[in-house]
Structures are given as C-alpha cells and as structure tokens.
Amino acid sequence: MKKSIVTIMTIFIVSCQTNEIKFDANSSFSWLEKQCEFGPRNPGSQGYFDCKEFFINNLTEYSDTVFTQNFNYTELYDNNTFDLTNIISEFSADSDKHILLGAHWDTRPWADRDLDVTNHSTPIIGANDGASGVAVLMELAKMFNINPPPINITIVLFDGEDMGVEGINNSWAKGSQYFAENLPIKKPDFGIIVDMVGDSNLEIPIERNSYRVAPELIDELWDLAEKLKLPAFKNRLGYDMYDDHIPLWEVAEIPAIDLIDFNYPNKRINYWHTLNDIPQNCSSESLGQVGSLLSNYIYSLTP
C-alpha cells in the first residue's frame, strides 16, 4: 500500500514539473494583425497615434501600473523632430526580483531597402519589424493579468528604434537610450528584448552582444528551448546587432539580451525595411515559440 502511494505521488510531482505553460499563439498573432490594421506606425503618422492609444488602453486594463515616458528626437534623414513615447507597464511590482521585457513599437518611416527605389520614401507596415515583438509582449501582459508572474516584470514598448541611419549606431534605439539615461523604474536584474520574431521561417541564433553581457541567461533560455522542443532557437552564434538591448547595458548597466531573427525570411532574401514586411510573411507558430519560451521561463522563477 505504501509503495503504491509513493508511486502515485511521484507521478503527480513529475507531471506538475513538466507541465508546459500554454501561450496562445493565435491570440498573439491577432495582436500583430491589429497593429498592422492601423497602417504604418512611424512617428507623426495617424497610425502611430491610434496605436499608441490602443496600447495604453489595453495595458491599463492588464497591468498594475502603466505610464509613459516622453522625449523628442530629430532624425537624420530629413531633420524632422518628433515627440516620442515609451510605454511602460508593471506587474507584481512588490517582488525583489525584477526582469524587463522590451520591444519597439514604432515602424520605419522609409522602405529604403525595397528593391523598387520608388518605394524608398514610403513608410513600412512593419509586421515583423515592429509588430511581432510587441505582439508577444501584449499576449504575455494578458497572461500576467490572469496569472500574476512570480517576480516583478516591467514591459517596455520602446519608441524611436527604427529611425536610424546605417553606419551611425546611436541614431537607432532612441527610446531605449532615453530610458536608460533616465531610468524611470528600479533597476531590473536583466532585460530581454524581442525584435523580428514573427518570420514564418523563424531561426533565432544567439546574438553575439547578448552572449557577451549575459552568457548565463542565454544558456538558461536555450537549454529551456531545447527541453520545450522549440526548433527556432539555434544553439550557435549569429550576428552582433545594435538593438534596444545595447543602450540598456552600455548606459544603465542592465545586462540585456536580444531575441532576433535578422534573416527575414532567409539569407538570400530579406524583407527588412521593405514593403514586403507584412502579416502574410509572418506566422502565429513563430510567435508561439518565442512566447512559449518566455512564459515558461518566467513562471519557473521563484520570488
């Protein structure tokens, strides 16, 4: 009798330990589609203002606290100055352990990588480069509202990431630069940036700067991806990227990593900064892999 009880308890414990958190990939993709329905979200556009209100309203419903961080930037293409906004939401703020999750919500004002040069002054829809990372974070926010995370999570939707000029690093990631220079929250233990994670042919290698500043976090996440059988996560070094994670580390000394697939959709063809960056070239399955990794990781942590 005692042996049977022990066996049953063991099975129950193992079952609980291996129970995967269910991230809703289809719902996440709906967040991506909704953003794109606003049109391009480049600063100053109507889509930008409508989408900002949409984010603030939804995060106000889901979060413990929501606030904005306003700044301005004069871009280097046309020397136009824009008022920009980081959108910040907090969950389980009483916990001592603290993680930042970030993605940029703005889209590029110019399709300057499009094969058709007549499109180079046209704003992009940014389904992958803009909407995909935010789509994962918005679905996580909805999850956190239903099941509060065990530690303090700050979600930051960074503005002004995609107004840069190639070759001038600090012309990119203006929202995270301002955030890091004027830290409006208690300093997180580390940060995770998600960018360009909607590619229907998703492959996320280890971004080189991420491994340099936070190798233990990289190892934890890629080991978990293997356990969860998430094939998009490739255990090899990829590009080194200047993205929102760089100012977090260089300015505020927050160890931060970047989950990104820059080969969109592959090494031969790239829809990055073109008019082909549309929902039809993205997939819910890809968002689901990234969301599953992050949600399982976060809910495995202890306060």
85: domain CATH number is 3.40.630.10
Residue 286 · residue 135 · CB < 8 Å: no
- Asked if residue 1 belongs to a domain, the reply is no
pLDDT score for 62? 98
Residue 107 has pLDDT above 60, yes or no: yes
Residue 86 · residue 157 · CB < 8 Å: yes
In three-state secondary structure terms, 202 is coil
Compute, in degrees rounded to 10, the torsion defined by CA atoms 83, 89, 93, 98: -80
Residue 247 tokens, joined: 């100012």
Q: Under the phi-then-psi rule, with left for phi > 0, alpha for psi from -120 to 50, and beta for the rest, what region is 286?
A: alpha
Residue 98 tokens, joined: 């603290």
pLDDT per residue as tens digits for the range 64-75: 999 999 999 999
pLDDT score for 19? 59
pLDDT, mean of residues 273-294: 98
pLDDT per residue as tens digits for the range 228-271: 999 999 999 999 999 999 999 999 999 999 999 999 999 999 99
- Asked if residue 4 belongs to a domain, the reply is no
**In the chain, % of residues over pLDDT 90:** 93
In three-state secondary structure terms, 102 is strand
pLDDT per residue as tens digits for the range 215-227: 999 999 999 999 9
pLDDT score for 12? 35
- Asked if residue 77 belongs to a domain, the reply is yes
Give the integer Cα–Cα distance in Å for 8 and 15. Answer: 11
Calculate the alpha carbon distances from 241 to 128, 238, 247, 298 in Å. Answer: 16, 9, 12, 25
Residue 1 has pLDDT above 50, yes or no: no
What mean pLDDT, rounded, does the chain reach? 94
pLDDT per residue as tens digits for the range 134-161: 999 999 999 999 999 999 999 999 999 9
- Asked if residue 16 belongs to a domain, the reply is no
Residue 52 has pLDDT above 60, yes or no: yes
- Asked if residue 17 belongs to a domain, the reply is no
pLDDT score for 2? 29
In three-state secondary structure terms, 252 is coil
pLDDT score for 282? 98
- Asked if residue 7 belongs to a domain, the reply is no
Residue 163 · residue 73 · CB < 8 Å: yes
Which ranges of the chain does DSSP label H, i.e. alpha helix?
2-17, 25-37, 46-62, 133-146, 174-181, 208-213, 215-227, 245-250, 284-300
* Structural domains counted in the chain: 1
Residue 184 · residue 69 · CB < 8 Å: yes
pLDDT, mean of residues 270-297: 98
pLDDT score for 20? 67
- pTM summary value: 0.93
- Which structural domain range is residue 184 located in? 25-300
- Asked if residue 14 belongs to a domain, the reply is no
pLDDT per residue as tens digits for the range 156-174: 999 999 999 999 999 999 9
pLDDT per residue as tens digits for the range 8-42: 333 333 334 445 689 999 999 999 999 999 999 99
- Asked if residue 11 belongs to a domain, the reply is no
- Tell me the sheet residues that pair with 87: 68, 157
pLDDT score for 21? 82
